[in-house]
Chains A and B, each alone.
Chain A
Amino acid sequence: MSVKQISVFLENKPGALLGMTRVLAEQNIDMRAFSLAETSDFGIARIIVNDVAKTTAVLQEAGFVHNVTPVIAVAVSNTPGGLNRALTALSEASVNVEYMYAFVGGREESAYMIFRVADNEKAAAALHAAGIRLAEQEEIATL
């Protein structure tokens, strides 16, 4: 029902992000989605990858502070109104979205929305009831 997102602490200075992308590239890790939040002195890179266990091991080894959070991945049709339907369902169920980001998947019908919410089960139920398909970890990994 949920997908694992890895968040990585980065200093907001030249080369910090490169330091992370370099170790991931060297270990052949494929990022499915990527989002960056930042303040003036630090940032958090949030990534969805093909291989979570390998990525956390690589980050650990390279000394990056990181954690793994379950997030909701919604498969929406890549057409106008797709995001709106998903947000309507969450709003009606009073689920607050802490942050979100989107990426276009490999399948012809799908864009994916990543939602970080406080209550994944409640969000999943609301989306399910509205007939919106949730993507599983395997689907993201094999895109």
Chain B
Amino acid sequence: MERYYQPEIETASREQITAWQSERLVRQVRHVWDNVPCYRKKMEEKGITPDDIHGVEDLHKLPFVTKADLRDQYPYGLLAVPLNDCVRIHSTSGTTGKRVVAYYTQEDVDLWEDCCARALTAAGATEEDVCQVAYGYGLFTGGAGLHGGSHKVGCLTLPMSSGNTERQIMFMRDLKSTILCCTPSYAAYLGETMKEMGLTPDEIPLKAGIFGAEAWSEEMRRDIEKTLGIKAYDIYGLTELSGPGVAFECSAQNGMHINEDHFIAEIIDPETGEPLPDGEQGELVFTSLTKKAFPLLRYRTRDVCVLNRGKCSCGRTHVRMAKPRGRTDDMLIIRGVNVFPSQIETVLINLGYGANYQIIVDRVNHTDTLDVHVEMTPEMFTDNMGEIAARQKKIVEGLRSMLGLAAKVTLVAPKSIVRSEGKAVRVIDNRKI
């Protein structure tokens, strides 16, 4: 029996969802027009006013907001309420070098926590669960979002933050955590450490994990599910929109339901900016409908994915987004070929290696080089040199067929690639362009 946190919203009819979206969009457009000078200017440049927006069908008339706009308007430019009405600030991790600061009113926090509570409930959390939040606490939205969601569901919340891995596992065992929230790379590291400590998944009562904040592959999911003995759910979000919980996976584990009562999702052609038909891959664009302090209209996420409006077996009616192949920011262009780290991860895990890898890109004699460092594992080791070389060659071939590129594969000692407690550092780009 599927459980919902807000059943009347999560299983609402399409007509109802559209009605909510239209009504909220009209109100939100008026709100930013009245309160955010740079929005008014952008709309005026396009020759539109709030009177031109009557519902979701007019969404495409609105200008886009990009990460560059956020940077230009730092720190207060996009704030839509008096600072006195705000109760919280969060900031992006700055993975891409551009920090974004976002503001929240109490109502914004409340609605965001509802979204996280929906995700937790979809993963099976109830008030009987112990929820270990091992996302970083602080400016990063991961810790605060799932923490708040866990409270709303009524879980006993363990605010661990990230790090101190052995203590995490000790608490997990002694305090009987059943739900784990962290980045997928940290989940993998927790599994690895557990094994080293001689603990089997049976000795840990965990049953589900909610992992997000970085791109991860299906293969990595299977790996984590096996080592931790749990079901692993994906969660999606951006600080710019609130944080985790913009979209979340249900029991079907086939795409993440976007909370459409709070966000409108579009897929556009990243080159032309034109909306693409359903089912086509493109850049994901979000409009936040309910956020008061920091409302973004048609925000270009640079995440590449596909929307699925098909019926879901879980009973939720909100549109699903596929796992993003990665942020366009994460995408590397090597010898003119688009490469996502998640593609390399897929090849490695399919061949039995762990998700501990590093991609080193350089430019030698005007040609890009791709070197993938892979940690040797006990399972993949033999005393036979030829056998290891053959396995190494298999990785090279796997990468060639996945990427269409010749890569160099270097086998490195276990634990020689630095483990991350938050977002993993997968790529080192030494090219000086």
Residues of chain A whose beta carbon lies under 8 Å from any beta carbon of chain B: 5, 7, 9-11, 16, 37, 39, 41-42, 44, 46, 63-67, 69, 98-99, 116
Query: A37 and B385: CB pair below 8 A?
Result: yes
Determine whether the beta carbon of A9 is less than 8 Å from that of B410: no
Secondary structure of the B contact surface, majority rule:
loop
Q: Mark B71-103, 1 if CB is under 8 A from A, else 0.
A: 000000000000000000000000000000000
Since A10-B413, A64-B414 are in contact, a sample of 10 more A-B pairs with Cβ atoms closer than 8 Å, ordered by chain A residue number, is A7-B382, A9-B376, A16-B413, A39-B389, A44-B383, A63-B415, A64-B413, A65-B381, A65-B414, A66-B378
Residues 405 to 433 of chain B near chain A (Cβ within 8 Å): 410-416
* Chain A: CB-nearest residue to B382: A67
Pick 29 A–B contacts, CB within 8 A, sort by A: A7-B381, A7-B382, A9-B376, A9-B381, A11-B411, A11-B412, A11-B413, A11-B416, A37-B385, A39-B389, A42-B388, A42-B410, A42-B411, A42-B412, A44-B385, A44-B388, A46-B383, A63-B415, A64-B413, A64-B414, A65-B376, A65-B377, A66-B378, A66-B381, A67-B378, A67-B381, A67-B382, A67-B383, A69-B383
Give the residues from 352 to 388 in chain B that come closer than 8 angstroms, CB to CB, to chain A: 376-378, 381-385, 388
Cβ contacts under 8 Å, B378 to chain A: 65-67
Measured CB to CB, the closest approach of chain A to B411, in angstroms, equals: 5
CB distance from A15 to the nearest CB of B (A): 11
A39 touches B381 (CB 8 A): no
Q: Shortest beta-carbon distance, A58 to chain B, in Å?
A: 15
Number of interface residues of B (CB under 8 A): 17
Whether A7 touches B383, Cβ cut-off 8 Å, given contacts A42-B411, A67-B378, is yes
B residues near A (Cβ < 8 Å) are 376-378, 381-385, 388-389, 410-416
- State the CA gap A46–B385 with chains docked (Å): 11
Contact in complex: A39, B385 (CB < 8 Å): yes
Contacts of A37 in B (CB 8 A): 385
Find chain B residues with CB under 8 A from A46 CB.
383
B384 touches A98 (CB 8 A): yes
Q: Which 8 A-B pairs have the closest CB atoms?
A: A7-B383, A65-B381, A65-B376, A69-B383, A9-B376, A37-B385, A41-B410, A42-B411
Pair B413/A9 contact, Cβ less than 8 Å: yes
Closest to B386 in A: A98
Are A116 and B377 in contact, CB atoms less than 8 angstroms apart?
no
Closest to A46 in B: B383
A residues less than 8 Å from B415 (CB atoms):
63
Q: Point out the residue from B382, B411, B416 that lies within 8 Å of A41, measured CB to CB.
A: B411
Q: Which of B377, B381, B383, B385 is close to A5, meaning CB atoms less than 8 Å apart? A: B383
Q: For residue A99, which residues in chain B have a CB less than 8 angstroms away from its CB?
A: 385
Q: Please, which residue of chain B has its CB at the minimum distance from the CB of A16?
A: B413
